[in-house]
Amino acid sequence: MRDRDTIPDATALGLKALVWTLSEPDRAQRLLDVTGLDPADLRARAGEPAVLSAVLGFLEAHQPDLLACAEELEVKPEALVRAHEELEGPRW
């Protein structure tokens, strides 16, 4: 088991969160509906910071998903929030 207090790379964590999100069809469809992405666009842009930020924001918006994803990835929910902030970039 990993140390849940370590700070993972934001991009790697975002990709893992994306895979987790897509692993359940209803949740995957909600992601597409909320973000406006279509499957082809998601496949083509999966590694882009904006897409990963959108995925993490999607998880943040529904606490049960955020908590379940964090548990599955063996990180604290706060790590997902920090990764979202890092991928989103500076706010003006």
Tell me the average pLDDT across 30-50: 94
Q: CA 57, CA 4: separation in Å to the nearest integer?
A: 20
pTM, 2 dp: 0.87
Q: Which of 27, 25, 2 is nearest to 13 (CA)?
A: 2
Domain boundaries, the chain: 10-88
Write out pLDDT tens, residues 21-36: 999 999 999 999 999 9
Inform me whether the pLDDT recorded for 7 exceeds 60: no
